[in-house]
Amino acid sequence: MHISTETTLFMQKAIYYVSKPVAARGMLELTDRRLLFQVFPFDASFGIRSLSIDITAIRGIEIKAGDIHPRLVVDTNERRHEFMLSKGRELYDYLKPLVGDPLGQERMPPETPEISCGCGKAADARFAFCPWCGARLRAGRD
């Protein structure tokens, strides 16, 4: 038995465009790990399969105006996936911060330059005093 630790962030009925003339109805769910599209049984009877996209595989997303509801376009390395749903903007807002940062972690600040102290050790250039010996690193800094 496998116990899932995924958290559902968003869920709504949607239409998935399998190809230009073919679309499937189903339930679109965003978890903290993936975007899932579960095809409704009637459409599955035509051979259309459910879809699971890992968040780390998403390379880009965009929202487009549709005839009735917005369309959400999800780009992966393999292909483009297009969904139409009434709360497309809400899903976009949930998904956008996860793209490129799938674990929801804050980005590390850029490296700051180091300067050398008279004691021979390197210190962060933002410091006014050397953390090793306590000497003033820059004149005029308080």
Q: Is 91 helix (H, G, I), strand (E, B) or coil?
A: helix
What's the whole-number average pLDDT of the chain? 83
N-term to C-term CA, the chain = 62
- Reported as a single tens digit per residue, the pLDDT across 42-60 is 998 988 899 999 988 898 9
Domain boundaries, the chain: 8-98, 112-142
Please name the residue that has the structure tokens 């399969």. 49
Beta carbons of 112 and 124 less than 8 angstroms apart: yes
Q: How many Å separate Cα 7 from the centre of its chain?
A: 15
Q: What is the pLDDT of residue 37?
A: 95
- The amino acid that residue 120 corresponds to is G
**DSSP string of 34-84?**
EEEEEE-HHHHTTTPPPEEEEGGGEEEEEEE--SSS-EEEEEESS-EEEEE
Q: pLDDT tens digits for 7-55?
A: 888 999 999 998 878 899 999 999 888 999 999 999 989 888 999 999 8
**Cβ–Cβ < 8 Å for 101, 58:** no
What is the spatial distance between Cα 32 and Cα 37, in angstroms, rounded to a whole number? Answer: 14
pLDDT at 4: 63
> In the CATH scheme, what is the code of domain 8-98?
2.30.29.30
- How many Cα atoms within 13 Å fall on the side-chain side of residue 65? 1
Digit-coded pLDDT (tens) for 83-110 = 999 999 999 988 888 786 555 554 445 5
